[in-house]
A and B are shown apart, each in its own frame.
Chain A
Amino acid sequence: MDSQTILMIAEGIRDSLYMTIVSTLVGYLIGLPWGIVLAVCDREGIKPNAAVYRVLDVITNIMRSIPFLILLILVIPITRAIVGKSYGSTATIVPLVISAAPFIARMVESSLKEVDHGVIEAAESMGAGTMQIIWHVLLTEARVSLISGATITTATVLGYSAMAGVIGGGGLGDIAIRYGYYRYQANILWTTVVLLILLVQIFQAAGTWISAKADKRRV
């Protein structure tokens, strides 16, 4: 492999990380409140609201059921409107966020629903309001599960970002498609695969380490 190829792969790693991290963060900006509303408005939640839950639930399901590759193409007009072009790393962030947000919402919802109802009741008995319970009880008590969810989300978004290579998304996936698939350069194809595996491993290890650190339930 010549130095130019190595440089290209290094840039690929940078772009993949850029897309993954920014998409996950923006995804959480949208998905976290979304998931909180789902958990809170659920029939068993702290402020049940059937109408709100039903609407958000349906939207979440619809968005989650569109395959990512199709979503990539469907949202091209939106991407153009926001970024100004439909290819490259920054443009890929738009479909990634649209895909990740409902996924994150579901992850957050299920994490928050794991919180022991007794603890919530105790907080209510002390006079805690809804926002206080969300902040001090739900998010705090569920933090281990939330961190695990974020780890899974990050790995999933990385995988999706590679998939965006098909329509010129940038990053390692783009390199794999262009050189590995169209030009039959197996060594580049395999290099990107190994790098993607390594990235997922690193994310997973970091997530596991942080959640273990954050968990005070284990003595």
Chain B
Amino acid sequence: MYNVGQVHRKMYLLFLCVNGRAVRKNQPRRKRHTGTGRGKEHMPIIEVKNLSKTFETKEGKVEALKDINLAVEQGDIFGIIGMSGAGKSTLVRCLNYLEVPTQGTVTVEGQELGNLSGKELRDLRSSIGMIFQSFNLLMQRNVLDNVCFPLQIHGIQKADAVKRARELLVTVGLSNKEKAYPAQLSGGQRQRVAIARALACNPKILLCDEATSALDPQTTQSILDLLRKINKETGITIIIITHQMSVVREICRHVAIVENGRIVEEGLVEDIFTHPKSRAARQLIIEGKDPDEWEKEQEEIKQERAAGVIPILHENRRIRIVFSSNSSFEPVVANMILKFGEPVNILRADTKDVNGTARGEMILGLPGDASIQEKMIGYLEERGLAVEDITDSLSSYEKEEQ
């Protein structure tokens, strides 16, 4: 019985591949980004079409998600970013059908989740790992048993499960903690256990729901490094839900920005980071602040204006420069100041050295003289930096606000 099922499944997969290719011939070729370069996959591993989710509450209907379309390629690290309440947590739960969408389809590895039986869906979930903000470990089981848990659910023999769990604990760097209980671990360690547990069944996809939001910056960094390592080594597709732009910049290749239940912008992280178009993207990227803080600040600026206290810097020209390939040994901004003999104001700087390359961005306030402004911009562009004039866009945004 088991063998027949297996053969059947293989044939089914084969059929899918053939069918997938046949269909593709008739479609216009789109430029695709494949993470690990595994040539055979041309079909996105996750495809969301026209997905909407409405919650019925006592106060009436709440539209959490509206007409979401999304395709994630195999091996990608895909970020979904938005403010709290934007609907991103609901969206990620639709990807493994923890939430059933009100409308639309979710297709994972060619299987439409809405068409699966309860049993089939549970089996499919073993190929989708998930980690959470609050780790959600079994507090009454030790680390090893926590990692064995999903294997146990899927009927793996105890000895094999323990063997696999030990391997995973080595991967996440916790092999000396297998007998410890979650209560004895730090937040970062707990998330590592959760990652090991999520990887136990060799999933093809890992969903991360605000996985680093409860962690301090250093621990966040180490967890992101771990996720990147796992992605590189196993080719697992990772979907990261976050409200922290820093997380997306650090690790994601693609990003979708969610606002009020809609995807307002989507693309390669570099592109969106260099030229954010949507309002939400600007808030998240240019200001780089916590959205609530941002709103508060905008309110303060408005009040200051009304009171006649106009901040001097608002009269300057502002540019945003993005470092991506410059040597971190070259002091670009300092050289520019020395060359032109004019001061610039660094309004925001967020750069760091990644293996000798400067990465990150700065927002500069340029001196009043228009010709010097142009020269400075020219100088920066010559050095290979992406320069974006944000004087107008910010003020136009402010107008939009009023």
* Chain A interface residues (CB < 8 Å from chain B): 116, 118-119, 121-129, 132, 136-137, 140-141, 143-144, 214-219
Contacts and interface: CB of A to CB of B under 8 A. Distances in A.
Given A122-B130, A216-B181, A127 B123 contact: yes
A9 B153 CA distance: 52
B125 A125 contact: yes
Interface string B172-194: 00000000010110000000001
Given A124-B98, A127-B126, A219-B184, A116 B136 contact: yes
B34 interface: no
Interface stretch (B138-146, B157-165, B308-316, B374-382): B138-146
A123 B137 CA distance: 9
Given A121-B98, A216-B181, A219-B184, A127 B125 contact: yes
A118 B134 contact: yes
Interface in B91-139: 96, 98, 118, 121-126, 128-130, 132, 134, 136-139
B130 A217 contact: no
B123 A141 contact: no
B138 A137 contact: yes
A217 B134 contact: no
Interface centre among A116, A123, A125, A214 (most CB of B within 10 A): A125
B358 interface: no
Contacts of B140: 140-141, 143-144, 214-217
Given A122-B130, A136-B153, A127 B137 contact: no
A218 B140 CA distance: 10
Contacts of A144: 140
Contacts of B124: 127
Contacts of A119: 136-139
A137 B118 CA distance: 19
26 contacts: A118-B132, A122-B130, A122-B136, A122-B137, A125-B129, A126-B129, A126-B130, A126-B149, A126-B150, A126-B153, A127-B154, A128-B122, A129-B118, A129-B122, A129-B153, A132-B153, A137-B138, A140-B140, A141-B140, A214-B140, A216-B139, A216-B140, A216-B183, A217-B139, A217-B181, A218-B183
Contacts of B150: 126-127
Contact of A125 (B128, B134, B142): B128
Contacts of A137: 138
A136 B155 CA distance: 13
Secondary structure dominating the interface of B? mixed
B139 A136 contact: no
B239 interface: no
A126 B136 contact: no
Sorted nearest first, the 4 A-B pairs with minimum C-beta distance are A127-B125, A122-B136, A127-B122, A125-B130
A123 B183 CA distance: 19
Nearest to A118: B136
A116 B118 CA distance: 23
Contacts of B137: 119, 122
Contacts of A125: 96, 98, 125, 128-130, 207
Contact of A126 (B121, B125, B141, B184): B125
Nearest to B181: A216
Contacts of B149: 123, 126, 136
A92 B367 CA distance: 94
Contacts of B45: none
A122 B149 CA distance: 11
Contacts of A215: 140
A134 to B, nearest CB: 13
B139 A128 contact: no
A217 B98 contact: no
B152 interface: yes
A134 B152 CA distance: 14
Contacts of B126: 126-127
Contacts of B129: 125-126
A126 B98 contact: no
Given A129-B153, A216-B142, A219-B183, 12 more contacts: A116-B139, A119-B136, A121-B98, A123-B149, A123-B153, A124-B125, A126-B126, A126-B149, A126-B201, A141-B138, A141-B139, A215-B140
A141 B146 CA distance: 12
A116 B125 CA distance: 21
A125 B123 CA distance: 10
Contacts of A141: 138-140
A61 B367 CA distance: 78
Given A141-B138, A141-B139, A136 B132 contact: no
Contact of B132 (A122, A143, A219): A122
Contacts of B139: 116, 119, 141, 216-217
Given A129-B122, A216-B183, A140 B141 contact: yes
B96 to A, nearest CB: 6
Contacts of B207: 125
A125 B96 CA distance: 7
A116 B184 CA distance: 18
A119 B141 CA distance: 12
A162 B126 CA distance: 53
A124 B98 CA distance: 7
Contacts of A116: 134, 136, 139
A141 B136 CA distance: 12
A14 B153 CA distance: 44
Contacts of A216: 139-142, 181, 183
Contact of A128 (B130, B132, B153, B194): B153
